[in-house]
Amino acid sequence: MAVARNVVTMGQQAAGKTERVQEILSWYESDNPGVKTNLARLLNAGRLAGTGKFVILPVDQGFEHGPARSFAVNPAGYDPNYHFELALAAGCNAYAAPLGFIEAAAARHAGEIPLILKMNNHDVLHDEKDPLPAVTASVADALRLGCVAIGFTIYPGSAHAQTMYEQLREAAEEAKACGLAVVVWSYPRGTSLSKEGETALDVAAYAAHIAAQLGAHVIKVKLPTEHIEQAEAKKAYEKANVPRATLAERVKHVVQAAFDGRRIVIFSGGPKKENDEAVFDEARAIRDGGGFGSIIGRNSFQRPKEHALKFLETIMKIYAGELK
């Protein structure tokens, strides 16, 4: 197994200076060499190295939803090492998790895969309609554990959004000064939004734009629906005749909202779907709409490992342009 990993690493290094990688790095003009080095590590890791596409395994669901809801369907997932091994075997660009899961197995996998430390989390034992996650880790933790980036969730639409924006500003400033990249989960939620509005096209695009304005290098949002939540936004969409009938068109618009596509925007895999083809169709729409890839948690680790590996391989082939 170790030999196979070494072969992949050598191939990644050969792919490291592709024109696409250099183009993406050029978008981050204000960033220091450390940040650009760590962005390059994300871009040059795994099966999609050098393509500018991403498949990241995030495993914060045990904290966010509860261990049984997350791992009982596939009990191997209770073991933090399982997720490192799954991400490595699948050839993911990175593995993202809260402090405990990364601490539990980072030493044995040091240098094998880029790590993203999820710095804030909330639980559902007191599930607020206007969430405010706790800051559960630090930039110092990310450096100690060899991470390439911090991860931070904001909830635009929450009554506590301004507090999260200020927390992110402080964390991002420190991370960038230390040469770490910043990955932002931008998930609209709160009493000001309807449930349908959480994934509305105007709201998803707004969420991506807010994350970009707050200094995110990589932005994670949910796939948008055709629904328009805000009355004033609806007027603007209709006046400009913004295409939104297909998922690919909606993805294109969300990416456009992130500085005309000059920020990396990846899309959430959401709850586990029993039908693999439904997820593959979403990946095709993300690809065709100019999205940069997927961050797929439950749809990966809630499948048996061999199924998950075949599933992720297909998604990576779609993003690599090897499958239509």
Q: Which residues are catalytic?
A: 220
Distance CA 138, CA 40 (A): 22
Contact 197, 229 (CB under 8 A): yes
Q: How would DSSP label each residue in 166-187?
A: HHHHHHHHHHHHTT-EEEEEE-
- Backbone angles phi and psi of 153, in degrees to 5: -100, 135
DSSP 69-96: HHHTTSGGGGSHHHHHHHHHHHT-SEEE
- Give the Cα separation of 270 and 291 in Å (integer): 16
The conformation of residue 108, written as its DSSP 8-state character, comes to T
Torsion over CA: 167, 150, 261, 289 (sign): negative
What phi and psi values does residue 323 have, to the nearest 5 degrees?
Answer: -130, 140
Residues 26/145/173/32 CA torsion (nearest 10 deg): -30
Q: Which of 73, 99, 102 is nearest to 87 (CA)?
A: 102
